[in-house]
Every structure is written in C-alpha cells, then in structure tokens.
Amino acid sequence: MDEINQFTLNQLIKAWSLTSEKAIPTFIGHQHRVAQLAVAIANALHYTNDKLQALYSAAMLHDIGRSWQPPEIWESEKPLTEGEWALVKKHPEISYTILKTIPFPLNIAEVVLQHHERLDGTGYPQQLSDGDICQEAKIIAVADAVEAMITPRNYRPGCSIPVAIATIETEAGTHYDPGIVAICRSLFESGEFSFQY
C-alpha cells in the first residue's frame, strides 16, 4: 500500500475507533492505548511493517462490537448478572461480523475474534487453546488486559502499572503467552514504553 493510502487508512481507522467508543465514555481511548502497547510489543518481536500495520488496525478496532451493545452494561456500577456477562462475551463475535466484510490486508477480523481467547482454553468465544490462537491475538490480549486494569471503571478504581504487570505474570502460561508478558514487563521497566494519553 502506498504512503498516501496508508495514511488515509490510518486516519479512517482512528475515526472509526473513536466513534465506536463514544457511546461508552469510560472506554474512550481504550483501543488507541491498547494499539500503542501492542505495537511496542510487536516491534520488540521484530514484526515487519506490513504485520505492524495489520496489528495496529486490529488493536484499534478490537472492541468495535461494543458499540452494538447496550452501553449501560459496560457502564454498570454493579457486578454484571449472568445474562449481562453472556452478552458482554459476544463482543468479539460482533466485532468479527463487522470486520470480516472489509478486505483488510492479513486477517484482522480473525485476530479480533481471538483477542479474549486464553492459552488454557478458558477464553471466549471459541475456547481455543495455545496453538490455535494467532500471535497477534495473544499480543492484543496482553495489551488489552494491562490497559483495562490501569484504567478506572465505574465499578472499580484503576491499579498501578506494576500491579497490572504482576497480575498478568500470575496468569502467564495459562491465560497469557509468557514471552509476550516478559516483553511487556521489560518495555515498562526499561522506560522504553509509556502510554500516551
């Protein structure tokens, strides 16, 4: 893709990402911050420019399915009911349904569909296990978890980055890829990465 078209695509993705978050104020900027960390991790893994662009696009759009769901579920100040939680868990499939209609380079829709899968098969929506989950989805899973933990929600305060990193480390090998978790820790501890708000 030439430079002008790539610039245009990135601007459209940013606009679409922001628009999808507008209905849920506490999530504004979430996809952008997840994309920042995901790209930093992928850079440490020496991704090519094309793969970086695809990962960036997937991370920027990974939660667009939320915009098709009732915002009060995402903004709730109380624990979710079983029915509400079941609805929340459908957002990767909704995002996939939207994205699969667009001929993005590489398989962005599939990456988005898998971003809540976990290595031990306890994730959703397909209960995939380690070897069936693409690396890009594993990267977004780590970036998504860290960003979600440090950001306050209506029902809980945010935590510090060291606490978020320590939390995902306890789940490395079961939920999260240990190598990706190690890179994430290194990026923060070395000062090579910080979120830009």
Residue 141, both tokens: 């899973």
Average pLDDT, the chain: 91
Contact 84, 117 (CB under 8 A): no
Q: Is 26 inside any structural domain?
A: yes
Q: Which residues pair with 120 in a beta bridge?
A: 129
For residues 155 and 43, give the distance between their C-alpha atoms in angstroms, rounded to a whole number.
34
Let me know if residue 194 belongs to a domain: no
Q: Is 98 helix (H, G, I), strand (E, B) or coil?
A: helix
Domain-located, residue 149 = yes
- Residue ranges making up the domain that contains 39: 3-189
Per the listing, tokens 């829709």 go with 109
pLDDT digits (tens, 9 = 90+) for 150-182: 999 888 899 999 999 999 999 999 999 999 999
Tens digit of pLDDT at every position of the chain (197 positions)? 455 576 677 778 887 787 777 777 788 899 999 999 999 999 999 999 999 999 999 999 999 988 888 878 777 777 788 988 898 899 999 999 999 998 887 889 999 999 999 999 999 999 999 999 999 999 999 999 999 999 998 888 999 999 999 999 999 999 999 999 999 999 999 999 999 98
Q: What is the pTM of this model?
A: 0.92
Which residue is associated with the tokens 């999530």?
27
Domain of 128: which CATH number? 1.10.3210.10
Per the domain annotation, does 197 fall within a domain?
Answer: no
Domain count, the chain: 1
**pLDDT digits over 6-18, tens only?**
667 777 888 778 7
Q: Answer yes or no: is 150 within a domain.
A: yes
